[in-house]
Amino acid sequence: MKVRLDQFNNDWFHPGAYLKIVFWTLFSIVFIRTAFPWPMLIKKRLLQTFGCKVGKGFVIKPRVNIKYPWKLTIGDYVWLGEQVWIDNLGNLKIHNHVCISQGAMLLTGNHDYRKSSFDLKVGEIILKNGVWIGANSVVCPGVVCGENSVLSVSSVATKDLIPNKIYQGNPATPKKDRF
């Protein structure tokens, strides 16, 4: 099937006001995406200023990329490792005691390859309490990671993860129980 760019139209998608996106992009380049070790309180306050709900005990390492903080909710004692990429075209909810390891990607958007118009599809991601997303792993649109589930290093979650299970592979499948 040939992709028809003349049919590509996602006018329905409005992530936020243009100036808000511009200012967020500028501030995030300086304070969030950078390798410079800004104090976490500054990063937390900046995220909150742009509409992110952030709980206590939040840790955000250098070079994190967050697309739209106003579509992000972060619970208590959440860890975002270095070079985490939160590509949240849709809502993304991170509950309490969650670790997202370095290089992980959380993707709430994708395109429908079955249509010549290549329509944008957006699906909310929810990471329940105690979830651990391993280094260089990917969580795809619409996935709910159940409580205390683990997505092992370099794995890809294309479907919901059952609570208290350890997942591995592409696509990720349950390998054993998490105690």
pLDDT confidence bin for 6, thresholds 50/70/90: low
DSSP result, 30-65: HHTSSSS---HHHHHHHHHHTT-EE-TT-EE-SS-E
Query: Residue ranges of the domains in the chain?
Result: 17-177
Q: Rounded distance, CA 145 to CA 105, Å?
A: 14
Predicted structure pTM score: 0.93
Closest CA to 68 of 50, 83, 81: 50
Closest CA to 72 of 84, 59, 85, 54: 54
Nearest residue to 140 (alpha-carbon basis) of 102, 107, 98: 107
Q: Which CATH architecture has domain 17-177?
A: 3 Solenoid (2.160)
pLDDT band for 2, please (50, 70, 90 cuts).
Answer: low
Cβ(167)–Cβ(155) below 8 Å:
yes
Long-range (24+ apart) CB contacts under 8 A made by 76-82 are: 81/135
Q: CA dihedral in degrees (101, 153, 177, 100; nearest 10)?
A: 10
pLDDT tens figures, 66-115 = 999 999 999 999 999 999 999 999 999 999 999 999 999 999 999 888 88
